[in-house]
Amino acid sequence: MSDNLVEIRDLYFAYSADRMVLQGINLTARRGQVVAIMGNSGCGKTTLFRLIGGALRPTRGILKVDGVSMGELDQAGLYRLRRRMGILFQFGALFTDMTVFDNVAFQLREHTDLPEEVIRDLVLMKLNAVGLRGAQDLLPSELSGGMARRVALARAIALDPALIMYDEPFAGLDPISLGVAGNLIRRLTDTLGLTSLVVTHDVQESLKIVDYVYFVSEGVIVAEGTPAEIKASELPYVHQFVHGEEDGPVPFHYPAADYSRDLELAHA
């Protein structure tokens, strides 16, 4: 069994012949690692997630999850492999008319034949892991944003997946909830021995918990390294992103004509 749970080699993806989204992507995520994928909006991060989850198929290249080539799976094989994946959507995506307990139990009821008493024990175990066992009877509308995100995380680990993909797990969280979410991702990865892929814009919080970082820009990986290497990077794009600088390769202003010329025309 390979140490690499996710293995991507020379991957290309295009929605159409004239719209290449990802080009020559090489990425590896080992078992037990937290790996961050960072980059500005529209750079291809979400598309990469959709490819790993099997919602899209590569145009060219190799994409393997747990040794299985995603592009060669039929529908039944894809569904089997997806049971070994968990996804934490950006805003939780909880079922609004179900209690916290039933949200976490949903996958267990849908994909297993376990008796209800065993499901109950497993749900309480997952909720306890995220600190919300006492909230089992609440509805999503009764939860704070941070609590909803933790319930979604409990649901994501319900089937003991080998891989969890997090889509902007820190978005919209207050500083306390943000720290709790980051620590949970790290602790669950270490405790369960799974692999975590995190798409995020929150550089500082991510660098506290991840093992490795990939920076994507305009569909290509422009930098990669450990948190220490990323912090020390002198590459202009990485330096601008890490330090949140206005001036750099990523422009603040949308392309426009010369400003003084525009003002002259406005007063002509």
Looking at the DSSP bridge assignments, the partners of residue 225 are 213
Residues 83-109: pLDDT tens digits?
A: 888 887 766 688 889 999 999 999 889
Amino acid at 160: D
Higher-confidence residue of 264 and 37: namely 37
Q: What percent of the chain has pLDDT over 90?
A: 23
Mean pLDDT to the nearest integer, 112-120: 91
pLDDT recorded at residue 122: 92
- Each as own residue / partner, the long-range contacts of residues 79-85 (CB below 8 Å, 24 or more positions apart, any chain) are 81/54, 82/53, 82/54, 83/111, 83/159, 83/161, 84/159, 84/161, 84/162, 84/163, 85/53, 85/161, 85/162, 85/163, 85/164, 85/165
Confidence of residue 12 (pLDDT cuts 50, 70, 90): very high
C-beta separation of 234 from 248 below 8 A: no
What are the tokens at 196? 């975590």
- Whether CATH 3.40.50.300 fits 31-50+81-266: yes
Residue 261 burial by Cβ neighbours in a 10 Å radius (0-12, 13-18, 19+): exposed
What residues does each domain of the chain span?
A: 31-50+81-266
Residues 136-194: pLDDT tens digits?
A: 999 999 988 778 888 888 888 888 889 999 888 877 777 777 787 888 889 888 988 88
